[in-house]
């Protein structure tokens, strides 16, 4: 009994000693860790920070691209990506779940707001592998703030949103190959993390990436296990640096004239290619440029047809528009005599010959003035010999053919001068063999229109720093040569005017009532895939370059249509249906004084923002305008076009009031007028077809809100004759505003 008691005491003493020793070891360990902050060679503070320190990216906004008047062409907007959290560990309070708890209900509700079947959504929510969260592909990306708000009102547990920037092109198909597009590109950082970055992919968006891009910022904060900011913990923020803003020389109004004309010709004639470019004659400033086929920069629809900017990257044989510069060189050399005569028809060069475009028949013995008017190849061959081919070779260099213009756009083609043999010298003089790009023809034409001074074409007006508002790039007009004298330029314009006004002039279809036009037609052969010229009435590049008003040109318009589907029409038909309305409407929009007495029908808009709705309505009606008023509010909060803009009578103006916005009936409207409603109310447009609106997804008088998507379909009028008649009737209303 005594022995058992002693054994228990010894056991208790050993146990007590063991616990005491363990306590002192643990105590010493804790004190050591607290004192040194290390354990087993690891810095505990750093590891804790690594585990609970969160780093996020504050995305920089990409710079906005504006036209010359400050209207937005491309800008960043906010969009959202929807995600569903599936891991129940994020829920700390069962009464307020943070993860998806009802898969069927969640799938049913989401299917109302995103373009994905309920069954497919449910399949994603029940995805194998126990993922922390899932997303819904393209259907769940790019959601507007309006859709996000509606989903939030559904109170679906576990549904969260990731904010992202999205590049928005409010004008749709608008100088698309010039502007290009930007899209989100997946990138992997040094730590293997996947991030997304907005990058320009073509056009100005790509070539000016360093200005537009900006620099992303960062945010660091200490979080709990679930990633939430801990109380009394400060965030460390490195603010992003947004991209710089670009102002182009493009005028949206003139660009719209070009887009509409190209679309109508594309629909009627289905050409392989078509292009148009408008420039200030005295500066080289590009006011509009576009081409067909084209694409929508927001959706990239149509991009697979043609990635190339044809006005810059495509070199071709120009045809008879090159005769302008042969004529100018002969006048400058003093060898051109308009009243002298020659035998038209054919011109022999050794065993070869070149003929006039009427199969070499010619028109008998005619003057050189008539030869230019008829676009006679034989006249040009004689003129070349009179001044000698060597002299003209120098003029080709003086006009900068064979070298890039240096415009601020990527991949410009230089073209090539083919001038080694007598036959090549003659064909170059009338526009075959030697190749050019459209900008080279335009640049050389500025010397004719600008008193001998040749202006470099340019598209960037200025670049403005987002932070300081200072102009960091400013483009000024640049004289790149004086290949001819002022007197020669004037005489050349006089001869080119007769191409349009003479009874037998090839330029007669390009006569514009009220303005004297000087210009030259072109009909260039096209080389096929086998290296030989194509045959057939349609297989030509038909073109016209015109300058107006002739006595003091303000604008140069160059139009080309390649391989149109002609039916008993000449190649001038599709070209004139682009050139004529573009030149006429542009001159009148710019208030260029007409040569004849034409009444003015343009209106300069006052600033009505903040004014009472009834006062604005009265002012517009007094000016002969019937504005589209959106909403029933008693105050105007936005007007399109903006104050000081000019509105052509018959063109729609939009006034946005302070409340109760509803959708107007836009059926029968042109695309440019629908865009005004979208710009005023902040709608996002998706469309198909060309011409005028036939259907709209938001019905007339239905409530609308900012960020809502408007889907419209456009169709051409019932016949080409009706379309042209309507266009002529509309453009006849466009008059000069100043005497």
Residues that are catalytic:
320
Q: Which of 281, 485, 493, 496 is nearest to 398 (CA)?
A: 485
Residue 9 CA to residue 608 CA, distance in Å, equals 101
Asked, as a colleague might, if the bond just before 641 is cis with ω within 30 of 0, I would say: yes
Secondary structure class of 354 (helix, strand, coil): strand
> Which residues, including other chains, have CB under 8 Å from residue 355's CB and lie 6 or more apart?
345, 346, 347, 362, 377, 378
Rounded Cα distance between 60 and 213, Å, is 8
Q: How far apart are CA 334 and CA 263, in angstroms?
A: 44
8 A C-beta contact, residue 53 and residue 222: yes
Token pair belonging to 556? 């140069």
- Of 568, 544, 548, 570, residue with least CA distance to 558: 544
The span from the CA of 34 to the CA of 39, in Å, is 10
CA distance linking residue 447 with residue 453, whole number of Å: 5
How many CA atoms, within 13 angstroms, populate the side-chain half-sphere of residue 209?
14
Helix (H) / strand (E) containing 219: strand 217-222
The residue count of the chain comes to 739
Instruction: Check residue 7 and report its DSSP letter.
Output: H
Contact 404, 384 (CB under 8 A): no
> How many angstroms separate the CA atoms of 284 and 338, rounded?
30
Cis peptide preceding 293, ω within 30 of 0:
yes
Query: 158 to each of 101, 132, 161, 272, how far by Cα in Å?
Result: 8, 11, 10, 52
Give the long-range contacts of residues 621-624, CB within 8 A, separation 24 or more. 624/649
Query: Do residues 519 and 505 make contact, with C-beta atoms less than 8 angstroms apart?
Result: no
Residue 451 burial (C-beta neighbours within 10 Å; 0-12, 13-18, 19+): buried
Instruction: Assign 25 to helix, strand or coil.
Output: helix
177-202 residues labelled b (16+ CB within 10 A) or e (exposed): bbbbbbbbeeeeeeeeeeebebbbbb
The tokens describing 338, both together, are: 């308009």
Whole-angstrom distance, CA of residue 191 vs CA of residue 522 = 60
């Amino acid at each position: 009994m005594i022995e058992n008691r002693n054994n228990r005491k010894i056991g208790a003493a050993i146990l007590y000693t063991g616990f005491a020793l363990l306590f002192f070891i643990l105590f010493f360990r804790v004190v050591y860790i607290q004192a040194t902050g290390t354990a087993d060679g690891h810095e505990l503070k750093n590891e804790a920070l690594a585990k609970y320190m969160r780093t996020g990216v504050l995305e920089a906004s990409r710079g906005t691209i504006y036209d010359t008047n400050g209207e937005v062409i491309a800008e960043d907007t906010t969009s959202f990506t929807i995600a569903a959290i599936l891991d129940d560990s994020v829920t700390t309070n069962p009464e307020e779940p943070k993860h998806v708890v009802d898969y069927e209900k969640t799938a049913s509700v989401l299917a109302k707001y995103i373009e994905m079947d309920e069954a497919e959504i449910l399949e994603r929510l029940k995805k194998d592998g126990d993922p922390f969260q899932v997303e819904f592909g393209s259907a769940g990306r790019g959601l507007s703030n309006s859709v996000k708000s509606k989903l939030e009102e559904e109170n679906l547990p576990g549904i969260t949103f990731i904010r992202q920037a999205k590049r928005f092109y409010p004008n749709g198909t608008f100088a698309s190959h010039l502007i290009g597009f930007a899209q989100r590109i997946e990138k992997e950082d040094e730590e293997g993390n996947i991030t997304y970055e907005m990058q320009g992919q073509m056009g100005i968006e790509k070539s000016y990436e360093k200005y537009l891009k900006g620099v992303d910022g960062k945010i660091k904060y200490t979080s709990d296990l679930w990633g939430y900011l801990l109380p009394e913990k400060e965030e460390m923020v490195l603010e992003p640096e947004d991209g710089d803003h670009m102002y182009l020389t493009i005028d949206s109004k003139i660009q719209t004239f070009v887009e509409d004309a190209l679309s109508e010709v594309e629909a009627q004639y289905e050409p392989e290619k078509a292009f148009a470019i408008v420039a200030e004659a005295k500066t080289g400033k590009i006011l509009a440029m576009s081409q067909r086929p084209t694409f929508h920069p927001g959706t990239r629809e149509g991009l697979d047809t043609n990635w190339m900017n044809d006005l810059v990257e495509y070199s071709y044989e120009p045809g008879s528009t090159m005769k302008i510069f042969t004529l100018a060189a002969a006048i400058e050399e003093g060898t051109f005599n308009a009243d002298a005569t020659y035998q038209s028809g054919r011109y022999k060069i050794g065993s070869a010959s070149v003929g006039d475009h009427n199969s070499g028949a010619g028109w008998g013995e005619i003057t050189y003035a008539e030869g230019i008017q008829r676009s006679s190849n034989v006249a040009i061959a004689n003129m070349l010999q009179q001044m000698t081919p060597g002299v003209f070779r120098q003029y080709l260099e003086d006009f900068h053919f064979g070298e890039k213009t240096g415009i601020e756009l990527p991949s410009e083609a230089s073209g090539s001068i083919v001038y080694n043999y007598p036959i090549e010298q003659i064909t170059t003089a009338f526009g075959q063999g030697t190749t050019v790009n459209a900008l080279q023809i335009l640049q050389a034409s500025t010397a004719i229109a600008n008193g001998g001074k040749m202006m470099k074409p340019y598209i960037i007006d200025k670049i403005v720093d987002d932070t300081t508002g200072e102009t960091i790039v400013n483009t000024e007009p640049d004289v790149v040569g004086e290949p001819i004298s002022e007197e020669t330029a004037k005489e050349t314009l006089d001869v080119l005017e007769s191409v349009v006004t003479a009874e037998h002039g090839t330029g007669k279809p390009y006569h514009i009532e009220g303005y004297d036009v000087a210009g030259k037609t072109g009909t260039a052969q096209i080389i096929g895939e086998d290296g030989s010229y194509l045959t057939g009435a349609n297989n030509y590049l038909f073109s016209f370059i015109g300058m107006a008003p002739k006595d003091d040109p303000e604008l140069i318009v160059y139009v080309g249509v390649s391989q149109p589907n002609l039916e008993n029409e000449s190649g001038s038909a599709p070209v004139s249906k682009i050139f004529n309305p573009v030149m006429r409407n542009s001159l009148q929009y710019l208030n260029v004084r007409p040569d004849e007495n034409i009444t003015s029908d343009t209106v300069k808009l006052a600033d009505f923002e903040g004014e009472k709705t009834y006062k604005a309505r009265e002012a517009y009606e007094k000016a002969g305008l019937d504005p589209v008023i959106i909403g029933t509010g008693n105050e105007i909060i936005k007007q399109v076009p903006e104050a000081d803009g000019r509105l052509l009578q018959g063109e729609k103006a939009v006034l946005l009031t302070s409340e109760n916005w509803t959708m107007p009936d836009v059926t029968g409207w042109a695309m440019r007028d629908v865009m005004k409603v979208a710009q005023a109310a902040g709608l996002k447009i998706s469309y198909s077809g060309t011409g005028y609106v036939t259907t709209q997804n938001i019905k007339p008088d239905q409530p609308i809100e900012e960020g809502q998507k408007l889907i419209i379909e456009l169709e051409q009028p019932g016949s080409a004759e009706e379309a042209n008649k309507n266009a002529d009737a509309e453009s006849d209303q466009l008059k000069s505003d100043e005497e």
